[in-house]
Amino acid sequence: MAGWFPPPGELRSAAYATFANTVGGGLWTAGGALYLTRVAGLPATVVGTGLSAAALVGLAASVPAGRFADRRDPRSLRAVLQVLQAGAALMFLLVDSAASFLAVAAVEALLVTGNLTVRAALVGALGRTAGRVHVFATLRTAANTGTAIGAGLAALALAADSPAAYRLLVVADAATYLVSAALLMRLPRYPAADPAERPRTWEVWRDGRYLAVTATTSAMYLRRVILTLVLPLWIATRADVPAVVVSAVLVTYTVLTVVLSARSGRRAEQAEPAARMVRRGSLVLAVAMLGFAAATTLSTAATVTLLLASTAVYSVGELWHVNGATGLSYALAPEHAVGQYQGVTVLLNGLAMAAGPALLTAVIVGSGSPAGWLVPIGLVTVCGLAVPPLARWAGAAPARPAPAAEPVTG
C-alpha cells in the first residue's frame, strides 16, 4: 500500500489522514443502513428518505464553511471537524426513533459538507507548490483505497450479523475520525489570508463567470450514480446476466480509479488544459454510456464483455472530468477567497448528485429502453463541449478589484 502514497512530507501526512477518514466512511457506507434497520429498528423507507433529506440540509454548510476556512488555518479547522464527526458518529448509537435519526443525520451531514469544503481549502494550501490538482488526485487515490478497505472490513460485521457487531462497526467508524484528526495535526499551520485581503462580502455570488463554469462542470455530476445505482438496476433487467457482474463492474472501477487518479492530475493545473480535459472526459463518458446502453442487446458473454470494457472507459472519462473540473475550480478562483469559491463548487456538485438518483433511474431504468441513456449522454456531451469557451470567457474577465479590508478585531 505504501507505493500508492506520495513520498514522505506534507502530502503523505495528508494522504494518511484522508485514508484513515475514508476507512471509516467505507465501514459506514457498507454497514450503516443495516445498523439503522436491524439494530436501531428503523424502517428502510425512513432510512432512505432521512439520509436524502439530511444530505440536502448538509449542503447549507458548504459556502459558510469555505468562507470560514479563508479566515482560519484549514488544517486545524478540519481536525476540529473530524473530532466533531466522531461525536456525531457515536450519536447514532442513541438513535431509537425516526425523529432522533433525522436529527443526528442532519448534524452529521452538515459536518460532512463542512469537512469537504475545508478539505478543498486545505488542498488549496497544500497545492501552492505541489500543484492543487495533483494534491487533489493524490488524496482521491487515498480516499478510494480507504473506502474500499473499510467496505471490506465491514464484511466482518455483516457476516456476524449481530447487534454487538454492528455497534462495534459504528464505534470503529468514530475512531477513524479521531485518528484522521491526529494525523492532520502533523501538518504545519497554513496561515489565512491577510485581513486586508479578505473579502467583506460573499464575493463568489457576484462572480457570474465562475458560477457559469462551475454550474456546467457540476451538472455532469448527475452521472455520479451510474455505476452504483443505475447500472446495477439496468443489469437486473437481464435475467441471463449473472448478478456477480455488478460486483465485477465495481471492482474494475475501483481498481482503475486507484491506479490512475494521481497520474492524470498534473495536466490540469491551468484553466485552458483543465477545460480541454473536461471536454475530453465528457466525450469518453458518452462513449462508455453508449456501451452500457447497447449491453442488453447482445448475447450474455458479449454483454458481460461490453459492460466491463465500458466500465474501464467510463473510469478514464470520470477521472478526466473530475480532475479537469477541479483544476478549473482552483484556477478561476482568487487566492484570497479559495475556500469560499470551493464552497460553491461543493454546493453545486452536491445538488447535481442529489438530483441524479431520481432523474436517471426514471429516464433509464423506468423507461426500460436503451433510448433512456440518451439523456445522460446528451447532458455530459453538451456540458463538456461548453466548458472550454466558458473557461476562456471566465479567464478573460477584468482583474478583480482589491477587496475592502475587514476591520481587525481581537
Statement: residue 319 has pLDDT above 80: yes
- With beta carbons less than 8 A apart as the criterion, state whether 11 and 63 touch: no
Closest CA to 257 of 119, 139, 176: 139
3-state secondary structure of 59: helix
Instruction: For residues 141-148, give the mean pLDDT.
Output: 87
**Which sign does the torsion angle of CA 280, 283, 288, 289 carry?**
positive
- With beta carbons less than 8 A apart as the criterion, state whether 24 and 88 touch: no
User: Residues of 97-106 as b/e, b for ≥16 C-beta within 10 angstroms?
Assistant: ebeebbebbb
Q: Which three cell numbers stand for residue 265?
A: 492530475
Q: Which three cell numbers stand for residue 172?
A: 470503529
- 195 pLDDT tier (thresholds 50, 70, 90): low
Tally the residues of the chain: 410
Question: Measuring CA to CA, how many Å separate 367 from each of 75, 354, 355, 370?
Answer: 47, 20, 18, 8
* pLDDT at res. 22: 92
* pLDDT at res. 192: 66
* pLDDT at res. 87: 96
Statement: residue 402 has pLDDT above 50: no
Question: What's the pTM?
Answer: 0.82
* pLDDT at res. 214: 95
E strands along 157-316, which residues? Answer: none
**Mean pLDDT of all residues belonging to the chain:** 86
Of the given ranges (198-202, 216-220, 267-271, 353-357), which has the lowest mean pLDDT?
198-202
Statement: residue 401 has pLDDT above 60: no
Question: Measuring CA to CA, how many Å separate 277 from each of 274, 291, 384?
Answer: 5, 21, 9
User: Rounded CA gap, 321 and 281, in Å?
Assistant: 5
- 264 pLDDT tier (thresholds 50, 70, 90): low
Instruction: For residues 210-218, give the mean pLDDT.
Output: 95
CB neighbours of residue 94 within 10 Å? 10
User: Rounded CA gap, 268 and 266, in Å?
Assistant: 6
* pLDDT at res. 397: 59
Closest CA to 105 of 49, 143, 45: 49
Closest CA to 278 of 223, 229, 226: 223
Question: Where is pLDDT greater, at 86 or 194?
Answer: 86
User: Rounded CA gap, 318 and 217, in Å?
Assistant: 12
- 266 pLDDT tier (thresholds 50, 70, 90): low
Distance of CA 309 to the CA centre of its chain: 24
- With beta carbons less than 8 A apart as the criterion, state whether 274 and 131 touch: no
Q: Percent of the chain, pLDDT > 70?
A: 91
Of the given ranges (107-111, 241-245, 251-255, 309-313), which has the lowest mean pLDDT?
241-245
Of the given ranges (140-144, 163-167, 375-379, 386-390), which has the lowest mean pLDDT?
140-144
